[in-house]
Amino acid sequence: MFHCHICNSSNFTEKLVKETFEVEGKLVLVENIPAQVCSRCGEITFSSETAENIRLMLHNNQKPDKSIQVDVFAFTP
């Protein structure tokens, strides 16, 4: 049985999530990724097949579905 590597829970929910990735210094957002989400702590886990599909999509110069503007802040303590 699969356990969360953060909290050791074995209770997961299948959800579609969105994640940001940095590719060659460029920030990209991927939506509707099938994932297992820990019901206790919310940790997101992708299957190896899903991770490979994301990698191929981001490195094969596929045209994005849309573009958005993102505000950037620098943290200053």
Select from 34, 39, 53 the least CA-distant residue to 2: 39
Question: What's the average model confidence in pLDDT over 32-37?
Answer: 97
- The Cα 9–Cα 45 span in angstroms is 13
What per-residue confidence (pLDDT) applies to 2?
83
Structural domains in the chain, CATH included, are 1-77 (3.10.20.860)
Select from 3, 19, 16 the least CA-distant residue to 54: 19
Using a cut of 0.95, tell me whether the model's pTM lies above it: no
